Amino acid sequence: MSFACKSGSPFRDTTVARDVEISNDWRLIDATGKLNVAGDHQFVSVTFDKPFVAPYGIDGIQSGSGDTFNPEIRLVDENQIEYELIYEGKLGNQRTNYKIKVGTVDRVKFSQIKIRSSVPFNASKILWSHYFARDLH
């Protein structure tokens, strides 16, 4: 199910998982049929609750103790090839975005998301998001 983040927003989100405990160990999330490549730009978004925040001027998530970190995230395609994601930005102060580090994904079919973090936290949602550049103004 795709929908705009809020009325008039160019971003379209698909919820892949809810209430996911992230730790040092890889967490494998089945996303079969949810990671459709659409739009001009695709990314994984991670939302979280306080005390974790993504404040202005900080490139990542900040813990309640002030440590800044980003989870390690990979997309896995149907051939088990992994694509590393890197921090791209944020939408508000409770959502960070991660894009594919290199390459394009026009014809790739993703089936899983792998995620882990040196700082344990709970992801309230993991989203697959996209937008069309023509909708940005």
Per-residue pLDDT of the chain in tens (137 residues, 90 and over written 9): 333 344 467 778 899 999 999 999 999 999 988 887 766 778 999 999 999 999 999 999 999 999 999 999 999 999 999 999 999 999 889 999 999 886 666 678 889 999 999 999 999 999 998 766 665 55
Residue 96 placed within a domain: yes
Q: Which residue has the tokens 């937008």?
A: 131
The range of the structural domain enclosing residue 103 comes to: 28-132
**Within-domain flag for 21:** no
What's the predicted TM-score (pTM) here? 0.86
- C-alpha–C-alpha distance, residues 19 and 124, integer Å: 4
What is the 8-class DSSP label of residue 80?
Answer: -
How many structural domains comprise the chain? 1
Q: Does 10 reside within a domain? A: no
What one-character DSSP code corresponds to residue 5? Answer: S
- Could you tell me which residues are beta bridge partners of residue 72? 116
The distance in angstroms from the start CA to the end CA of the chain is: 24
SS (H, E, C) 34-78: CCCCCCCEEEEEEEECCCCECCCCCCCEECCCCCEECCEEEEEEC
Asked, for residue 4, whether it belongs to a domain, the answer is: no
Q: Is residue 42 part of a domain?
A: yes
Whether residue 76 lies inside any domain: the answer is: yes
